[in-house]
Amino acid sequence: MIDQKALAYVNLYAVLGALENLCELVPEASAALTNKKPLSIGFEVKGGPSATITFANGKCRMEQGCSKCNVKLPFSSCEKFNGLIDGTVTPIPSKGFTHIGFLLKDFTKLTDLLNKYLRPSDEDLKDPDIFRINTEMTLNVIGVAIAQLGNQDEICKFSAAHIVDGSVMIAIKDGPAVEIIAKNHRLLCLKKRPEKYRCSMIFDSYQTANDLFGGKVNALACIGTGKVEMHGLMAMLDNVNRILDRVAIYLA
């Protein structure tokens, strides 16, 4: 049921892409990068995605492609890259051996923090800061994963084929939001609140969002109780939600 190529897109752009948010939200992550020379790591997956993550001034930014990077990590297949994410594959750089220290020390620290905040223990979630950061980061991961699966997964492409042009907002009330932009049935996620949108799904609180993301409550029952509100083009939202169902399978 899981396509390795689609999973590679999710792992690179949604999961590793969450490093951007980590550096914004977690001071410890930002501190790990301060007073360091700017550095970029390229991920090149044969038959799959490629992207460059640039670390500079305590921040991190992901861009597509890896023609300009200090360290390049090539992967011979999507399966190999997915192995990096689940910890079964150790990457070997093809470029940038002098920066191996950053890779082994600083980058590893960041990915450990990423894991801590994206997959916190129940005990960790009792910490209000971890709870808030986990909720916000997960919202972003889910948003990007929706876009990637809508473009890559065969079943999700069927859903995307029924999505009209325009923006979908997924948001936490009085909190963060993501924008899924559909154009010619291709999807793009921007990690921001859209100015204009054709439909929206709004969680009434961080608690509702976190419970839903963690699979602790039923989404349809939340719609029935009003904890999740939907507005606008329901057919558009319905198809986004069908992709969202499969995001849970990919991120499990």
| d(C-alpha 82, C-alpha 199), whole Å | 33
- Residue 155 in contact with other proteins, rule: CB under 8 A: yes
> Segment near other proteins (CB under 8 A), from 107-115, 122-130, 155-163, 206-214?
155-163
Q: Mark residues 161-190: x for contact with other proteins by CB under 8 A, - for none.
A: -----x------------------------
| d(C-alpha 23, C-alpha 133), whole Å | 11
Q: Mark residues 217-236: x for contact with other proteins by CB under 8 A, - for none.
A: -x-xx-xxxx--xxxxxxx-
Nearer to other proteins, 20 or 238 (CB): 238
- Residue 103 in contact with other proteins, rule: CB under 8 A: no
> Segment near other proteins (CB under 8 A), from 114-122, 126-134, 156-164, 208-216?
156-164
| DSSP summary character for residue 44 | E
SS3 call for 188: strand
- Residue 20 in contact with other proteins, rule: CB under 8 A: no
| d(C-alpha 221, C-alpha 227), whole Å | 9
Q: Which amino acid is at 234?
A: M
**Which of 180, 239, 247, 250 lies at the binding interface for other proteins (CB under 8 A)?**
239
Shortest spacing between CB 137 and other proteins, in angstroms: 26
- Given the rule CB under 8 A, which residues bind other proteins? 155-156, 158-159, 166, 197-199, 218, 220-221, 223-226, 229-235, 237-239, 242-243, 245-246
